[in-house]
């Protein structure tokens, strides 16, 4: 049984209006002065702790010495199509409200009965992304061990939790507890999927859906290009629109004097089984290169929900209905394959891969994850199925020089319990994404949910390291993981990974709280 970890994504836009020009000075001020505002420190626990793996000085990235907090000086205002998911908008609004207590204004007195608690200000995480580090020394490994080891003894974390903490500036591991142990990673697998896809295709790559006409038979074939974000909704909100594709197709047919066609759909881009090994599950649809709105049966855009039985047929049926609304009569759609003679009538493309990665990570979107795993396989000459994606992701990460001992990628989403990652690999992925020599990987960081603000961390850290931690969550029954970046008390950007297994399936909230305490303590450590 899988414990759904996805929640409907909430932009959480504050009721404060600021023009963009007013934001930049505040961000600059925040970058110069802000420190994490952790309101409660976690108790250190017992002073006597068991011996743990000592920090090592292994370099994760060749260019890590110059990485640090220079993830790109203008990343907050320049890098990545954040507006496609609302993430940049939400953070800008939060940053614009820095002059107000708590980072936003709900009207009336803060904390008054019947009113929501003010959200925290976003300056620490914005500083971590766009600031320049002036800290000369990394946190002390022994001090980190003293702070973290007692927390990892929490029974809620199971019998053998594993962890790693890395200084992004130098790539040096500062703390490790079984850092090379391979665990079921759950949805933190998506970090690996993101890095592999961005490495293989580049941040500007787009996925195209097209309609083609077979000239001899007047058959219109809807050809799936693997875009899981294709939408049939009236408001496309920047994603590729099935309505736009239908309108363009109808116009092109009308120009040819064609008013009646046979309608087919082509899903041959992918190979192998469409069903994920977990079977029918509300966390994802059948894996298909053709789908509209992820085969959802309601108006949701994220989170678990019942899916249509055949996403490709459903998308083609909707496409046919849209053609009819433009005066083109069609048959009921059936599967086919576009020939080399087929003439493209119209096409629509997804936003760039950077936007897809950010949406995948922020919402923990399994459909996008499985699509990107297959696209990585196609881009690197592997078979577009689960096994081919495994080989492709492994090959891309190996090419980047990442530590793959014990790793296995049986899917792209992390829903498969046979997946394996280590804390070393997760922190190495994050450090590599920060490497200035690999700017194409940056969306693997900018897409991470922000504690207390976005995605799967929206409702977490409300009284802890909100705005300081960016992290990907991972939750299956008895499995809880957390991996991401944070800005410590001295302004240092750290990458961390906490992995657990055999946790109490009846109390996953306790495990989440224990993981959050560890991240909060790391942010508040001041262990320099």
Catalytic residues: 187, 190, 364
263 bridge partner residues: 220
Which H, E and C letters describe 133-152, residue by residue?
A: CCCCCCCCHHHHHHHHHHHH
In order, the DSSP letters of 388-429 are: HHHHHHHHHHHHTT---TT-B-SSSSS-STT-BB-HHHHHHH
CB atoms within 10 A of CB 151: 23
- Three-state SS at 512: helix
DSSP state of 176: E
DSSP state of 333: P
In order, the DSSP letters of 248-315 are: HHHHHHHHTT--EEEEEEE-TTS-S-SS-TT-SBTTB----S--SGGGBSSS-SSS---B-S-HHHHH
* Spatial contact of 95 and 130, defined as CB atoms under 8 Å apart: no
The secondary structure element, H or E, covering residue 220 is strand 219-223
CA dist 404 and 420 (Å) reads 10
CA dist 265 and 272 (Å) reads 17
Phi, psi dihedrals of residue 296, rounded to the nearest 5°? -75, 145
| 43 contacts: CB under 8 Å, gap ≥ 6 | none
Phi, psi dihedrals of residue 482, rounded to the nearest 5°? -150, 125
Distances (CA, A) of 367 to 164, 226, 293, 301, 382: 29, 10, 10, 11, 20
Token pair belonging to 99:
């002059």
CA dist 155 and 13 (Å) reads 37
Closest CA to 318 of 235, 197, 232, 216: 232
* Spatial contact of 521 and 151, defined as CB atoms under 8 Å apart: yes
Closest CA to 125 of 510, 450, 371: 450
Distance of CA 150 to the CA centre of its chain: 30
At residue 374's C-alpha, the angle toward residues 498 and 265, to 5°, is: 140
């Amino acid at each position: 049984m899988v414990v759904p970890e996805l929640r409907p994504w909430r932009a959480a836009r504050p009721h404060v209006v600021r023009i963009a020009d007013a934001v930049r000075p505040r961000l600059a001020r925040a970058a110069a002065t802000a420190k994490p505002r952790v309101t409660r420190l976690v108790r250190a626990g017992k002073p006597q702790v068991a011996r743990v793996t000592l920090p090592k000085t292994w370099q994760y990235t060749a260019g890590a010495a110059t990485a640090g907090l220079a993830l790109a000086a203008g990343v907050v205002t320049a890098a990545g199509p954040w507006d496609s998911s609302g993430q940049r908008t939400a953070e800008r609004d939060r940053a614009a409200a820095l002059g107000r207590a708590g980072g936003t204004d709900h009207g009336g007195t803060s904390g008054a009965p019947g009113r929501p608690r003010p959200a925290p200000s976003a300056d620490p995480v914005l500083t971590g992304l766009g600031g320049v580090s002036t800290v000369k020394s990394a946190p002390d490994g022994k001090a980190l061990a003293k702070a973290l080891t007692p927390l990892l003894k929490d029974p809620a974390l199971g019998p053998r939790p594993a962890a790693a903490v890395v200084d992004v500036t130098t790539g040096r591991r500062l703390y490790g507890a079984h850092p090379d142990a391979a665990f079921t990673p759950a949805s933190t697998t998506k970090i690996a999927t993101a890095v592999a896809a961005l490495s293989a295709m580049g941040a500007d790559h787009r996925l195209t859906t097209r309609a083609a006409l077979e000239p001899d038979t007047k058959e219109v074939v809807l050809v799936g290009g693997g875009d899981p974000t294709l939408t049939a909704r009236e408001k496309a909100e920047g994603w590729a629109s099935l309505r736009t594709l239908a309108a363009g197709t109808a116009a092109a047919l009308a120009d040819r004097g064609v008013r009646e066609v046979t309608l087919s759909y082509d899903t041959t881009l992918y190979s192998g089984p469409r069903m994920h090994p977990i079977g029918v599950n509300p966390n994802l649809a059948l894996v298909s290169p053709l789908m509209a709105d992820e085969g959802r049966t309601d108006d949701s855009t994220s989170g678990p929900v019942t899916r249509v039985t055949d996403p490709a047929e459903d998308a083609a049926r909707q496409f046919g209905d849209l053609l009819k609304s433009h005066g083109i009569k069609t048959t009921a759609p059936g599967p086919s394959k576009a020939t080399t003679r087929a003439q493209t009538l119209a096409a629509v493309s997804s936003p760039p891969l950077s936007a897809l990665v950010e949406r995948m990570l922020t919402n923990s979107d399994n459909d996008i994850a499985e699509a990107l795993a297959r696209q990585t396989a196609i881009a690197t000459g592997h078979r577009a199925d689960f096994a081919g994606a495994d080989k492709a992701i492994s090959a891309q990460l190996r090419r980047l020089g990442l530590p793959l001992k014990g790793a296995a990628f049986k899917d792209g989403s992390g829903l498969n319990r046979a997946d394996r990652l280590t804390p070393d690999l997760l922190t190495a992925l994050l450090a590599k994404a920060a490497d200035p020599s690999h700017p194409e990987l940056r969306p693997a960081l900018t897409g991470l949910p922000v504690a207390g603000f976005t995605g799967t961390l929206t409702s977490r850290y409300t009284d802890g390291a909100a705005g300081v931690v960016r992290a990907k969550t991972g939750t299956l029954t008895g499995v809880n993981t957390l991996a991401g970046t944070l800005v410590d008390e001295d302004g240092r950007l750290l990458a961390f990974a906490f992995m657990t297994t055999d946790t109490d399936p009846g109390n996953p909230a306790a495990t989440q709280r224990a993981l959050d305490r560890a991240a909060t303590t790391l942010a508040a450590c001041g262990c320099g």
